[in-house]
Amino acid sequence: MTIHRRDLLLTGTLAATAAAAHASTAVAQVDTSARPSAQADASAAAYAAPAPEQKINVVSLRDIERQAEKVLPPFGFHFIAGGSGDEWTLRENEAAFDRLVIEPRFLSGVKTPNPATSILGSKLSLPVLASPMGMHGFAHAGKEAGTAKGTAAAGSLYVTPSVSNLSMEEIAAAAGAGAKWFQIYFPEDPGYAREQLQRAKAAGYTAIVLTVDATSFGNRERPAKLGLKPPPHLGFGNMPKSPALAGQNPDMQKKDLTFADVAFCQKESGLPVIVKGVLTAGLASDCVKHGCAGVWVSNHGGRQLDHSPATIAVLPKIADAVGGKVPIIVDSGIRRGQDVFRCLALGASVVGIGRPLLYGLALGGAQGVEAVFQRLRTELLMTMQLAGVASVDKITADYVAPAVRS
């Protein structure tokens, strides 16, 4: 029997790590005796994601997480919401923002701020894009098509994950004329990598995002502790097309990545390549030296190496190392327009959001995704106006300071 990454990640590995974690108090202990294995198996087989296509009222991105929990099957919600290990990094991603304050400049004369920006030739209505996230079928019956369509409707940029339920071509069609990049986990077989990269270019993607922080798999224990099993039938959308690549799948990924693999992506796609998973100034500097088109500061939303730093905490030193030579994207923990503002002030060109988009997708399909973007845009406009900043390029470190603790 072939064992795939998702199977290891969500079943065997989780079960093993959960058994070793009974003494941990960081995640609430749950009595799994009420959910015997047969019941869990039946629940997984009967998995049905929400399917609404409707407008939703987003007052707060944190509120929609609680709303989405009410409509999502338990496995789907905890797969999306959870992190790795003790989930310290998951929590720290948001907590780190509370250690920074915004210092506004009143009497600035700013009446109507402009939140529009651009990155690598793509114009955006706001400096927020959709981070790559796998398996949108856990959140909604429309899968990645709804996320791509809603992102395009909001005037933003969608990053298609290679580990998706729909194919990259189907997702590109759903995004239409909207800006789109393709994210790749570099496969073990370079021929499969070549096929994915060339398919992405042919489908109209304008940049490649190479994720480098998933060469081993984070111990995402939450579903196992809750006795939840993954549904068996959602499928991969980007299976190889060439008969010569039979037996390959998007879960079979290379572990020993180097900058030679970055160069491979550059050569075989002919597109700009952004490295995602940068948490140190040294790696950021090396990415610039190797001709990367951008640096993506990310800890995988707290889903990979627990106790890695919050992205907002390392962003300033990475921005210093990059020195404005290439764009910087940052994700993880962004839940407010004020968070977007602080990221831009500390050196980001744009920010990426993840989980809130999946919650919006679960609640309203493409319209729910669009509503999440619109809420962030509204909050960012408010923050820019109150802080006295007319445009995104004017948001600098002068507007942010450490919070004073008594």
Does the structure show a pLDDT above 50 at 11? no
More confident residue, 317 or 12: 317
**Pick the catalytic residue: 140, 233, 300, 307?**
300
Q: Give residue 188's pLDDT.
A: 95
Distance of CA 10 to the CA centre of its chain: 18
251: pLDDT confidence band, cut at 50, 70 and 90? confident
For the beta carbon of residue 369, count every other beta carbon within 10 angstroms. 34
Beta strands in 121-272, from DSSP E residues, in sequence order: 122-124, 128-130, 157-160, 179-184, 208-211
CA-closest candidate to residue 337, choices 298, 402, 297, 384: 384
- Among 1-15, 30-44, 107-121, 362-376, the range scoring the smallest mean pLDDT is 1-15
In terms of residues, how long is the chain?
Answer: 406
Q: Is 78 a catalytic residue?
A: no
CATH number at residue 291: 3.20.20.70
What would the pLDDT profile of 331-341 be if each residue is shown by its tens digit? 999 999 999 99
What would the pLDDT profile of 46-58 be if each residue is shown by its tens digit? 789 999 999 999 9
Does the structure show a pLDDT above 90 at 265? yes
Instruction: Count structural domains, the chain.
Output: 1
Average pLDDT over residues 187-199: 97
Q: Give residue 359's pLDDT.
A: 98
Q: Which amino acid is at 300?
A: H
The token pair that represents 109 in the structure block: 């004369």
Q: Give residue 39's pLDDT.
A: 53
What would the pLDDT profile of 296-311 be if each residue is shown by its tens digit? 999 999 999 999 999 9
Q: How far is the first Cα of the chain from the last one, in angstroms, to the nearest whole number? A: 59
Q: Give residue 43's pLDDT.
A: 53
45: pLDDT confidence band, cut at 50, 70 and 90? low
What would the pLDDT profile of 359-381 be if each residue is shown by its tens digit? 999 999 999 999 999 999 999 99
Instruction: Label the pairing between strands 157-160 and 179-184.
Output: parallel
Q: Give residue 23's pLDDT.
A: 31
6: pLDDT confidence band, cut at 50, 70 and 90? very low
Q: Which domain holds residue 101?
A: 5-402
Question: The whole model's pTM is what?
Answer: 0.89
Tell me what percent of the residues of the chain surpass a pLDDT of 90: 83
Give CA–CA dist 212/389, Å, rounded: 35
Average pLDDT over residues 304-327: 98
Does the structure show a pLDDT above 60 at 128? yes
What would the pLDDT profile of 194-228 be if each residue is shown by its tens digit? 999 999 999 999 999 999 999 988 899 999 899 99
For the beta carbon of residue 201, count every other beta carbon within 10 angstroms. 16
What would the pLDDT profile of 18-43 be if each residue is shown by its tens digit? 333 333 333 333 333 334 445 544 55
* Backbone phi and psi for residue 187, each to the nearest 5 degrees, phi listed first: -70, 160
Q: Give residue 34's pLDDT.
A: 38
Give CA–CA dist 68/48, Å, rounded: 14
Give CA–CA dist 146/152, Å, rounded: 10
